[in-house]
Amino acid sequence: MNEFDRVMTGRLARLEAANLRRNLRRVDSAPGRTVESGGRALINFSSNDYLGLANDSRLKASASRATETFGAGSGASRLISGTLKPHAELEARLAGFKRTEAALVFSSGMAAAMGTLGALLRPCDYVLIDRLAHASLVDGARFSGATMRVFAHNDLEQLEARLAWAAAAARSGSKDGNDPPHVLVVTESLFSMDGDFAPLREIAELTERHGAWLMVDEAHATGVVGDEGRGCVDAAGLGAAVQVQMGTLGKALGSAGGFIAGSAALIQCLVNQARAFIFSTAPPASVCAAALAGVEIAASEDGAARRQTLFEHIERLASAMRGGAPRVRSPIVPILVGAEEKAMTVSQRLFAKGIWVPAIRYPAVARGRARLRVSLSAAHLSKDLDKLIEALGQEGLV
């Protein structure tokens, strides 16, 4: 083995020893209620496909039609080769869905977060971020070079203290009268690993009181929460108080990609300054057309019926978990195990029973806070829930 591969192998061995090594699992079927892997069928509790749209025939038909008309690839970035009709149609629909002036699509949520935070924040600015916020937000904040401070998860008192400090620091650092230092607060609305919600009204109120701006990542809430699945910001009536709304197209909406919704001025700034948008090939037409069909379904009566089924499943699992159930109801149900090794063995035993529930470990969550994360979907049947609850019972987890 050469020197390079010896170093790589050593790194993998250390991950393995800490129970933190990850391996890809090959799947030989479409993502859905069940998937086929290793020659067997598994009930799939691992996906963020909350409305069961990822393999929906309407999304697939839209994607196929768009491929026929606009091709398989997009050729270049949109500033170079232009915006395809499916990009424009999707962005107009997303702006309507989020009730904002405009929206901009990125090739992933990761790119949306990196591009947007990098464009909005300068080294003279301040960014305050919830401790449990997604890696894309943390990396985007770091990448911007702004001064970053973390506040404890959903801790309003600590947020207020950080806001007071940052607002004062921004004022004293003010040199350029046209564009002085700013403070941006960043949080998720429905948290990806804990399945709980941010107190958005209070956060918006504090943020406004200290003259700061607010960015809310609705990756998991879009399509799932609120009227027509518009998300938590809209449900709380906070559209005007949240300058930057982020969402993804790859979870409940059934396709792939990320987006930002906000004022026309924000979107024009991102087109000019978000490097992950400027220096990246545009998403193909098929992906945008599928996402557009996903939004239409999420906002329709079919979407409402799917959300109802989803929330019935959520209630069902919560009542089986009794005292161990999360205090709030969301499709992300963490079952805290603690030790990384234990989370992995339980996940493997469930797998052997035909149930796919991923073990979530550091760095996705803190060390020693490993968990099984059950993701529920409208596509599940009650018998799937029966099997899951029975298997969790045999593990002493419900």
Ligand X SMILES: *Cc1c(COP(=O)(O)O)cnc(C)c1O
Catalytic residues: 48, 134, 188, 192, 217, 220, 251
Cβ pair 286, 83 in contact under 8 A: no
Residue from 248, 309, 375, 377 in contact with ligand X (CB under 6 A)? 248
Q: How far apart are CA 259 and CA 108, in angstroms?
A: 8
Q: Which residues neighbour 136 within 8 Å (Cβ) at sequence distance 6 or greater?
A: 109, 110, 112, 113, 114, 217
In the complex, the smallest distance separating the C-beta of residue 258 from ligand X, rounded to whole angstroms, is: 5
Q: Which stretch binds ligand X (CB under 6 A): 24-32, 103-111, 144-152, 199-207?
A: 103-111
Nearest residue (CB) to ligand X, 132 versus 350: 132
Q: Which residues neighbour 124 within 8 Å (Cβ) at sequence distance 6 or greater?
A: 146, 173, 181
Q: In sequence order, what DSSP letters do the residues of 73-128 get, joined into one string? A: ---S-HHHH---HHHHHHHHHHHHHHTSSEEEEESSHHHHHHHHHHHH--TT-EEE
Nearest residue (CB) to ligand X, 282 versus 320: 282
Q: How many CB atoms lie within 10 A of CB 229?
A: 27
The verdict on 373 binding ligand X (CB under 6 A) reads: no
Q: How far apart, in Å, are the Cα atoms of 223 and each of 73, 132, 300, 310, 381?
A: 27, 22, 11, 11, 20
In the complex, the smallest distance separating the C-beta of residue 323 from ligand X, rounded to whole angstroms, is: 27
- The radius of gyration of the chain from alpha carbons, rounded to an integer in Å, stands at 22
Nearest residue (CB) to ligand X, 128 versus 398: 128
Closest CA to 104 of 81, 79, 122: 79
Nearest residue (CB) to ligand X, 250 versus 294: 250
Residue from 110, 129, 146, 232 in contact with ligand X (CB under 6 A)? 110
The CA-CA-CA angle for residues 114, 119, 123, to 5°, reads: 100
In the complex, the smallest distance separating the C-beta of residue 107 from ligand X, rounded to whole angstroms, is: 8
Contact letters for ligand X, residues 140-169 (x by CB under 6 A): ------------------------------
Cis peptide before 363 (omega within 30 of 0): yes
Q: Please tell me what DSSP assigns to residue 328.
A: S
In the complex, the smallest distance separating the C-beta of residue 188 from ligand X, rounded to whole angstroms, is: 5
- Of 184-243, binders to ligand X (CB under 6 A) are 188, 192, 217, 219-220
In the complex, the smallest distance separating the C-beta of residue 193 from ligand X, rounded to whole angstroms, is: 9
Interface with ligand X (CB under 6 A), residue total 14
- Of 258-277, binders to ligand X (CB under 6 A) are 258
Q: In sequence order, what DSSP letters do the residues of 334-363 get, joined into one string? A: EEEEESHHHHHHHHHHHHHTTEE--EE-TT
C-beta nearest to ligand X: residue: 109
In the complex, the smallest distance separating the C-beta of residue 184 from ligand X, rounded to whole angstroms, is: 16
Residues lying near ligand X in the complex (CB under 6 A) are found at: 108-110, 113, 134, 136, 188, 192, 217, 219-220, 248, 250, 258
